[in-house]
Structure 1
């Protein structure tokens, strides 16, 4: 009976550990996705500002037709 009890508790501990590891992996994946989206948004903003700057330069130098 004692061996069965120890085996049961070992199984419980393993399941708990696996669940915690899965939750940590999910959180890491979510954080990575969020970072990726933030970087893409920053890149889009930079691209838009660069285009606006080019238009301003063209207007200021008379290159815009």
Structure 2
């Protein structure tokens, strides 16, 4: 786990149901945004700089995720 996210507040979508095992959690620090699998909280973290995170969220809002 990245030391940058030690003690970070992780959150997941309010649309995520309690029994849903397919969730992604997000944590924001001063420098970056981390994404992890909610089932494997000690596992790897995908780290994005804030500019990349904003671009990603904007793209999803505009047109959704398409292959």
TM-score by structure 1 length? 0.26
Does 1 or 2 have the higher relative contact order (CA < 8 Å, sep 6+)?
2
Q: Which of the two has higher C-alpha Rg?
A: 1
**TM-score, normalising length from structure 2?**
0.25
Q: Which has the higher strand share?
A: 2
Question: 1 or 2, which has the higher helix percentage?
Answer: 1
